[in-house]
C-alpha cells in the first residue's frame, strides 16, 4: 500500500492484492477511503478501484477533489478485510509560497547487500512531505549475483527477464516491513534507474548486447511490472516505450523535474583499453563521442521538456530528481582527456554542457538530486566540471543508497576514492556509507542533512547524521554547516 505523485488537489493511491490462494483471473473491485484523521472517522472521499488481473492485480486510484497542502489518511477494503490506515498529503497550490517543505531522498535497495534500516530512521524523523526515490528499487540479478555474503538472500535463482520473474522480485522486496512502513509513512515520488530492467542498459542496448528485439521485450516486461508496483501518476505501459518523466510543484517554493536517464540514452562508450583495476566502467573519455550532438542521456523530447519546464517554472527552487552524477569526476588528477565513469554524465559531456547552461540560466536556484553511486556527496555544478574558471550554477546533492554497497572494503575506498576526490575540487564532500538525505527547504534556504547507516548487516544498527550542508537562495552552490 502506498501513495505518490501528489498534486494540489489529488494524490495516487496504490495497492496490490497478494494471493494466499491463486487469485481468480478476473478483475477485482477494491474500495478505498480517504480521511483527515488517522482513525478514519472524518472520511472526505471514497470510491472503488479495480485490481486488474492483467496488471498483477494492482490498483491505482487517482483521488481528486482534495484540499491543497493538506495531510490525509487512506485505506483500502476488500470484502471483510481492511488495510491499516496510511498517511499521505497533497502539495501546495500554484500561486502560493509555502514557508517550508521537508522531504528525504535516496535510491538503490539491493536485497542481498544490507537491511533497510535507513527506512526505520526515516520514519523516526516524523512528518515528511515527500520521499523521492531515484531508482534501483529492485535488482534483477539471480540470487548470489553481486551479493554480499553478510546480506540476505533472495532465494530466487534467476535473473529477471519475464513478467513473472520481475513480479516475483517486487513481491519479495515489498515483503520487507520497513519498506512497506516507509511507503505508508509519506507519499513517494519515484523514478527508475537501470536495475529495474538490466544493469547499465542504455536505450535498446542491454548490458550483454542482446538482440534488440529480445531486449525490448524484456524492457517492456520490466517497465510493466515497475508500473504495477509503483504509486505513479501514469497510465500502464503498452510496450517498451514508456515516458515517465514528469514534474511536481509545491506551490512556488519548489518544483521537482523527475528524469529518466535510461530509456532514451545512447550506449555508453566502449573504449579499449580501460583502467584495468576498475574494469570497463572507468575509461579515458572518448571526447569526440562525448561531445557529439547525437550522443544523448535524455533524448531530444525529454531534454526539450526539461528545458521548457525549467524556463516556465515559477519555483524558487528548481530541482532535478535524476540518477547519475553531474558534478563530474576525473579519476586521475590532471588527466586530459579525463578518466571517467562512463555511465555518468561525464560520458555525455556535450549534452550536459548544453542543458546546464540552459537550465542554469533559467532557474532561480538549481539543485540536482542524484542516486546511483551507493555513496553520498555534495558537488558544485559547472557546465564543464573540469573547467574551474566557469561559474558555479547550482548544487548537486548525491544521496547514498538504502542498502546497496559501494566498496565495503575500507582500504579500497581510501586508496581509490580519496585521491580522486582530492583531485576534483568540485566534489566538496564524499562518504561511502549507505543512507539517505533529508532536505528542509524554505524560500530563503535549503538545509541538507546526510544520514548514514552504521552497520548495514545489523537490523538494529544506528543511523546518524554525518554531514550537513546549506544552500542560500540567490547564491549557487552549497556550503558545509
Q: How far is the CB of 406 from Fe ion (least distance, A)?
A: 10
65 vs 301: CA distance, rounded Å: 31
Which residue, 59 or 376, is less far from Fe ion as judged by CB? 376
The answer to whether residue 298 forms part of the interface with Fe ion (CB under 5 A) is: no
85 vs 278: CA distance, rounded Å: 48
Residue in 152, 141, 183, 160 with CA at minimum distance from that of residue 16: 183
Which residue, 403 or 467, is less far from Fe ion as judged by CB? 403
Q: How far is CA 334 from CA 387, 390, 412, in A?
A: 11, 17, 21
Using the contact rule CB under 5 A, the part of the chain among 141-149, 254-262, 273-281, 397-405 near Fe ion is: 397-405
Q: Is 410 exposed, middle or buried (0-12, 13-18, 19+ CB in 10 A)?
A: exposed
160 vs 372: CA distance, rounded Å: 20
Q: How many chain residues interact with Fe ion (CB under 5 A)?
A: 3
Q: How far is the CB of 433 from Fe ion (least distance, A)?
A: 15
Which residue, 136 or 196, is less far from Fe ion as judged by CB? 136
Q: How far is CA 43 from CA 35, 87, 228, 458, in A?
A: 4, 14, 27, 40
Q: How far is the CB of 244 from Fe ion (least distance, A)?
A: 18
Q: How far is the CB of 241 from Fe ion (least distance, A)?
A: 24
User: Could you tell me whether strands 254-258 and 317-321 are parallel, antiparallel, or unpaired per DSSP bridges?
Assistant: parallel
User: Could you tell me whether strands 43-51 and 445-453 are parallel, antiparallel, or unpaired per DSSP bridges?
Assistant: unpaired
Q: How far is the CB of 372 from Fe ion (least distance, A)?
A: 6
Q: Is 179 in contact with 152 (CB distance < 8 Å)? A: no
Contact with Fe ion (CB under 5 A) among 104, 108, 319, 329: 108
Where in 127-146 is the site for Fe ion (CB under 5 A)? 136
Which residue, 5 or 343, is less far from Fe ion as judged by CB? 343
Q: How far is the CB of 401 from Fe ion (least distance, A)?
A: 6
The answer to whether residue 404 forms part of the interface with Fe ion (CB under 5 A) is: yes
Which residue, 61 or 108, is less far from Fe ion as judged by CB? 108
Q: Lay out the site mask for Fe ion across 347-386 (x = CB under 5 A, - = otherwise).
A: ----------------------------------------
Which residue, 136 or 431, is less far from Fe ion as judged by CB? 136
Q: Is 12 in contact with 61 (CB distance < 8 Å)? A: yes
Which residue ranges make up the site for Fe ion (CB under 5 A)? 108, 136, 404
Amino acid at each position: 500500500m502506498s501513495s505518490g505523485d501528489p498534486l494540489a488537489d489529488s494524490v495516487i493511491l496504490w495497492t496490490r492484492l497478494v494471493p494466499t490462494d491463486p487469485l481468480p483471473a478476473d478483475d477485482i473491485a477494491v474500495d478505498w477511503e480517504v480521511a483527515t484523521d488517522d482513525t478514519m472517522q472524518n472520511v472526505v472521499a471514497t470510491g472503488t478501484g479495480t485490481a486488474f488481473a492483467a496488471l498483477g492485480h494492482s490498483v491505482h486510484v487517482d483521488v481528486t477533489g482534495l484540499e491543497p497542502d493538506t495531510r490525509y489518511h487512506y485505506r483500502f477494503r476488500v470484502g471483510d478485510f481492511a488495510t491499516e490506515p496510511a498517511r499521505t498529503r497533497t502539495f501546495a497550490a500554484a500561486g502560493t509560497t509555502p514557508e517550508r517543505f521537508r522531504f528525504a531522498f535516496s535510491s538503490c535497495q539491493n536485497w542481498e547487500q544490507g537491511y533497510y534500516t535507513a527506512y526505520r530512521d526515516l520514519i523516526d524523523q516524523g512528518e515528511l512531505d515527500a520521499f523521492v526515490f531515484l531508482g534501483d528499487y529492485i535488482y534483477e540479478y539471480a540470487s548470489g549475483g553481486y551479493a554480499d555474503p553478510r546480506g540476505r538472500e533472495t532465494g530466487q535463482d534467476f535473473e529477471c527477464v519475464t513478467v513473472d520473474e520481475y513480479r516475483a522480485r517486487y513481491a519479495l522486496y515489498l515483503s520487507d516491513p520497513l519498506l512497506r512502513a516507509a511507503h505508508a509513512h509519506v507519499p513517494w515520488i519515484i523514478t527508475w534507474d537501470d536495475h529495474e530492467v538490466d544493469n547499465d542498459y542504455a536505450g535498446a542496448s542491454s548490458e550483454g548486447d542482446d538482440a534488440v528485439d529480445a531486449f525490448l521485450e524484456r524492457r517492456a516486461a520490466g517497465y510493466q511490472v515497475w508500473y504495477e508496483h509503483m504509486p505513479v501518476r501514469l497510465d500502464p505501459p503498452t510496450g517498451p516505450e514508456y515516458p515517465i518523466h514528469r514534474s511536481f510543484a509545491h506551490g512556488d517554493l519548489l518544483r521537482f523535474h523527475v528524469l529518466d536517464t535510461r530509456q532514451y540514452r545512447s550506449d555508453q562508450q566502449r573504449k579499449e583499453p580501460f583502467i584495468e583495476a576498475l574494469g570497463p566502467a572507468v575509461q579515458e573519455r572518448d571526447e569526440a563521442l562525448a561531445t557529439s550532438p547525437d550522443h544523448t542521456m535524455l533524448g531530444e523530447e525529454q531534454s526539450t521538456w526539461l528545458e521548457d519546464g525549467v524556463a516556465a517554472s515559477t519555483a524558487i527552487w528548481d530541482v532535478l530528481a535524476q540518477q547519475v552524477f553531474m558534478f563530474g569526476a576525473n579519476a586521475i588528477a590532471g588527466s586530459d582527456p579525463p578518466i571517467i565513469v562512463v555511465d555518468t554524465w561525464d560520458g555525455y559531456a556535450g549534452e550536459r554542457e548544453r542543458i546546464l547552461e540552459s537550465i542554469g540560466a533559467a532557474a532561480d536556484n538549481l539543485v540536482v538530486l542524484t542516486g546511483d553511486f551507493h555513496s553520498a556527496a555534495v558537488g558544485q555544478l559547472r557546465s564543464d566540471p573540469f573547467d574551474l574558471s566557469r561559474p558555479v550554477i547550482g548544487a548537486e546533492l548525491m544521496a547514498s543508497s538504502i542498502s546497496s554497497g559501494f566498496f565495503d572494503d575500507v582500504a579500497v575506498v581510501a586508496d581509490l576514492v580519496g585521491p580522486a576526490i582530492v583531485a576534483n575540487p568540485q566534489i566538496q564532500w564524499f562518504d561511502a556509507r549507505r543512507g539517505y538525505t533529508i532536505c528542509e527547504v524554505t524560500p530563503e534556504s535549503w538545509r541538507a542533512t546526510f544520514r548514514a547507516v552504521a552497520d548495514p548487516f545489523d537490523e538494529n544498527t544506528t543511523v546518524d547524521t554525518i554531514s550537513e550542508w546549506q544552500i542560500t537562495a540567490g547564491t549557487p552552490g552549497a556550503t558545509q554547516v
